[in-house]
Structure 1
């Protein structure tokens, strides 16, 4: 975690050109431009306003960390949804014993329906006999 925070600090300090401990909309525009993209003044101001928790018109380090962590969390959820869809297969929005058996078979692991029901029961938080995405997420994290 300390290594991750030092990486965040380096990136934040790169954005913070005047070293005042805050990122302004113009500093944000400059950094985006440095990577070959364009950001209008309106877009930069909207981004800063969205991230600015203390409403001073600037993005502080804590705001920056929350933003970056949220992006990483979004990516994790996207990956989990992709994995979930592989097991779900039946189009019902949940992992059933049958769909789990089928996926495990594709992975070279032979299980009976009863074994799959027992595997599901361990993580079936609401007792409905299937794994929803929220239950899958809890299981994987």
Structure 2
């Protein structure tokens, strides 16, 4: 079953235990790029995490940025989303597959 982020009804991410593809994850995450700068900020990541009803979204978003942000600029760019995939699987319980 997929859950819809309350502020982003056009995007979905599946609940813990169900699989999503890498492309579905990318599309879902990019829907939270509210200022359309092509990067995900800590606040945007917090909103994404909160949309799937994960507790401690502020704390987890800070950890997610630190985990995935290879160039330490405080944002997740397209080339760093792969790093965030690993974090999402370990810390958010998402199962992301490459079909």
TM-score by length of 1: 0.40
> Is residue 21 of structure 1 aligned with residue 15 of structure 2?
no
Q: CA RMSD in A?
A: 2.8
TM-score by length of 2: 0.53
Which structure exhibits the higher relative contact order, with contacts defined as CA atoms closer than 8 Å and separated by 6 or more residues?
Answer: 2
Q: CA deviation at 1:42?
A: 3.3
* 3-state secondary structure, aligned to 1:54: coil
Q: Which structure dedicates a bigger proportion of its chain to helix?
A: 1
Alignment of 1:55-134 (within 5 A): 55-68=72-85, 71=89
Q: CA deviation at 1:58?
A: 0.8
Q: Where does the alignment leave 5 or more consecutive residues of structure 1 unmatched?
A: 76-141
- Answer with 1 or 2: which has the greater Rg: 1
| Number of equivalent positions | 70
Q: C-alpha separation between the residues in 1 aligned to 2:22 and 2:59?
A: 29
Q: Which structure dedicates a bigger proportion of its chain to strand?
A: 2
